[in-house]
Chains A and B, each alone.
Chain A
Amino acid sequence: DAKTTQPNSMESNEEEPVHLPCNHSTISGTDYIHWYRQLPSQGPEYVIHGLTSNVNNRMASLAIAEDRKSSTLILHRATLRDAAVYYCILSRPYNQGGKLIFGQGTELSVKP
């Protein structure tokens, strides 16, 4: 079954860029790549998603490898409020179950 692999933890300095990697070597051609983050004592929050092309939104950028076996979430300038667990997730199409397959998550700490 497809799954994602992420580092357990990463550290960043405030106002510096952060690159959070994710491997998904068994991704299927129709799986979307989603990123969510979970702040302490809250539910997960959507960050960004993509299928094949790189994506940008107000929160982050998503860089997807050409073979789609890995991706990187980029926070352009980390703030203290970005400290959270970041989940790299494969999202199956509806006709294949429509589930989110969560990775174990990367705990990001941000130092002032």
Chain B
Amino acid sequence: DTEVTQTPKHLVMGMTNKKSLKCEQHMGHRAMYWYKQKAKKPPELMFVYSYEKLSINESVPSRFSPECPNSSLLNLHLHALQPEDSALYLCASSQRGTGGRNEQFFGPGTRLTVL
């Protein structure tokens, strides 16, 4: 299994809702990432988990809350989002830690719309 899966593919939520995005990989990778991508822009890093510990938080608002229950699973909990948070949310993983020569494997993303 050489892929990163993300669910759901699409999500529409109101500003008062609470929802979660899920990401899974079974490649034995020890680093996992959340990115946000707006239309026609490159992905922007949000969070990095390395060996199940949060190692990077790019000053993301607290309405986004990441969780890494185990080495294969990464969640992003969403609460009280704003319409400008509408974007494609990408999950990625890499084999050994982060950066350097490590190749990242990306999932297909969750398209989030906040009404």
What is A's interface to B at a CB cutoff of 8 Å? 30, 32, 34, 36, 41-46, 49, 51, 87, 91-94, 96-100, 102-105
A49 touches B101 (CB 8 A): yes
A97 touches B99 (CB 8 A): yes
Q: Which of B42, B55, B56, B106 contacts A43 (CB 8 A)?
A: B106
| A to B CB contacts below 8 Å, 21 in the list | A32-B101, A36-B104, A42-B108, A43-B4, A43-B106, A46-B104, A87-B42, A91-B101, A93-B99, A94-B98, A94-B100, A96-B99, A98-B55, A98-B97, A98-B99, A98-B102, A99-B56, A100-B104, A102-B42, A103-B42, A104-B41
Contacts of A41 in B (CB 8 A): 108
A98 touches B42 (CB 8 A): no
Residue of B nearest to A8 (CB): B40
User: B103 to chain A: closest CB distance in Å?
Assistant: 5
Contacts of B106 in A (CB 8 A): 36, 43-45
User: A52 to chain B: closest CB distance in Å?
Assistant: 12
Residue of B nearest to A103 (CB): B42
User: B70 to chain A: closest CB distance in Å?
Assistant: 21
Complex Cα distance, B62 from A38, in Å, reads 29
Interface status of B32 (Cβ within 8 A of chain A)? no
